[in-house]
Structure 1
Amino acid sequence: MTEPDCRRATDTDPAGVPFADLDPTLLRAQRTSLKWTRFPADVLPLFVAEMDFAVAPVIRDAIIARVEASDTGYLDGPGPLAPAFADYAASAWNWNVPLDHVYLATDVATGVVESLRIGWELSRRKAAAGDTPASGRIVVPTPVYPGFFEMLQEVPYEIVEVPLAPVASAAPAAAAGASAGAADDGSGSGTPDPAPHDSPELRLNLPAIARAFEAGADAFLLCNPHNPHGTVHTEAELAELARLAAAHDVFVVSDEIHAPLTHAGERFVPFAPLAAAAGALAVVATSASKGWNLAGAKCSVIVAADERANIALQELPPETVTRASILGLHASIAAFSEARDWLDRAIAQIEANATLLAELVAAQLPGVRLARPRAGYLAWLDFREAGLGSDPHAKILAEARVALNNGADFGLGGAGHVRLNLACAPDTIRAAVARIAAILPAGKVSA
């Protein structure tokens, strides 16, 4: 019997569940997460980053086995999750992770916040010792996952937003000391000119980041790959960011939660090895939660880029570990170790859904532009020329009864945009686009 091609989309989800069984009406009756309870039954929910896909059977079995063993107690460290993650990182990204550099955290948000607390304390100690003045600022590239702004309410940094920039002006060659361009460095991220319905490609604005660092910054919060655009940062871009961080003594926390969902033909580059090579203080926060649909499993890892960062992470409070879920830990081990074929099938379906969305936007949504993702399952749509006014999110929710994410919540550059979840049955995407098309000015006239 011939094995199915893991990179080929089929009529079922990655776990083999027929798409008909992923009808939103059915899922609303079966599931209890906020995706299915926040809005009334007539609203199609495509906002929060949860998949509609069924969990991989091997992960389901791992959770059931722990429950059957009544193994539901507290954790004291990453234990077997450290080698499982390290093996995956080596296989997927050629990143050799020392096991003692891996720390356990409740979720990636906790990992980011607790790492930044340590960074804040380190900058205060340096200032007290007279080494370098503390600025109290953290630089964030925007528009970006709105959870970043919620996380940063827990730490006393002043946020400096640096909007992403079009490829031509964002290239690393524009920054001092860089020699490679951002658009095509052999990483698989070089692209032709966008189609009429595609948004211009936006990338890290390294010259602006350099200026922000020169003005004084203690920390930088990186989203790698970038959410909401699904941008896969190139090695040249990340190496230049690491160089700048080292030169200006800026602590970098890299959220790499979407990294396992890098699309075919793209190359994900973890930030930690580049930071270590440049001498930049950095940590990575990541988990299996997005890649394998384990958003509520509450288990993540924080990885030190080098020994200096490893020493810093030893100051993490004990609750960072003990609040993690033992069920999430075993689910994550199964994901990294045994569910890579499920992930490949998920990526194939997401890519097919992204292509479908692009076709539907071009055919049915005049004035709308799409940023095609290269990682993750989130699509970023520009509605500023679609005739829905300054708040298209509110119009789409109220009139089309489709719940998306409001681009205004993503920081500078986000207003007039929405974010849509692609990890669902293709018919769900078709239904969402049809509903939105019906409320656009052109749609109302034709109706």
Structure 2
Amino acid sequence: MANQSILRITRELSEIQRASDLSLAVACRDIDVRHVRALIVGPPDTPYEFGFFEFTAKFTREYPTKPPAVNAITTNSGRTRFNPNIYAGGKVCLSILGTWRGERSEEWSSAQGLESILLSIQSLMSSNPYENEPGFEESKTDYDKKNQAAYVAKIRHETLRISVAERLEDYLGISRGTGVTVYDAEEDFQANAADAPFEPFKDLCKRRFLWYYESYMRSVEIEAKKHKDGARFEKMPFEGTGNNMEGEFNYTSLKKRLETIYEKLHEEAHSWAAEGLISVQKETSIASNLQRQFEQIVESYRRNDAVTIDLELVDKNPFVWQLVLFGRMMTNLDGGVFRIKIYLSPKFPDVLPRVKFETPLFHHRVSPDGILCYNPSRKDDMRTHIAAIIEAIEEESPAYDPRTLVNYEASKLFWGTPEDKKIYNRRLRRSVQDSAE
């Protein structure tokens, strides 16, 4: 029974990790598969948008007959209740978990699993989370409507402050609110590897922060016009002592903190060049591995007539690649010449590359600052990274997925009216033409 339980958990973790869902991530220590960490990226068009919400799931030997015990970690040290059903103390109220009363059809069954639990939690993160409070259906008064708007407003602020800014500041060793780096987080991690905290989503959150930076800043700009610095959060009728969301708005501070994080992440990526050269001098296995992968990829594309690229190592450093992509004929990229810088960490593939377009390109997958949103099929194979980079900008009829859209203006036009789409194509073509000059 115990072995069957472990096999079931292992299989579920593997399936979630292999899936293409950009909203969910799971991890566990190799020695303890029953204690799982999970990350839910807040759904677009909600006050939780692109926030990083972490949970623990503890499985007993009776799994899957009984559900795991699930607790929220992203709670501001037990001070913030992010949802009527996600308490400040970490409790997650769901009928599927047996922590909330529900219809028999909503109760746990062994046919369900961790993914269905995470999707159920994600469904709580709606555009109007106030509706999760029992009795919401009877809320008809203007007072109730005012509460709903006030609740959404403070969740949006605290999502940015706690789940995004504070999380990234901790990862980067930035003293909260000052922008001063108080220690080198990566060096500290290496020096104390045996005692290091389990932070499986550190690199994922860093990469996603770069993707969603424009979205965060746009939200700050919009909300700052509605809420003055220092204005207190309104208390909801269902919030009680020790299980509420208290605080005040301060978008001026949040903006500065997000800007600092963005700068630090770029500094971190650029620092990999010097670290990489040291790794080369020490003849480490990762330096040799990346050199070999580079040579194999160059040879592979030399024989590929369908795609034309130039690939070089900057200063013969296998940790900094310069990719030049030539737009294919009969596509919107036809005639374009795009220079793309790829920074690799000595901790690759645990830390994934940072990819930046040095050539400006008006594209829904390329941020105004040149950050490319792409997702490789294999994290440890640079060949799949190169292929994913090319596919991300060449795909002409992608499925709509707001989690991959990192240029608000371009995205709005691409998925707008037929006239909007024409404007998008004209602006894309103009940037392509400019790239060749």
TM-score in terms of structure 1 length: 0.28
Which has the higher relative contact order, 1 or 2, with Cα contacts under 8 A spaced 6 or more apart? 1
Of the two, which has the highest radius of gyration?
2
TM-score in terms of structure 2 length: 0.29
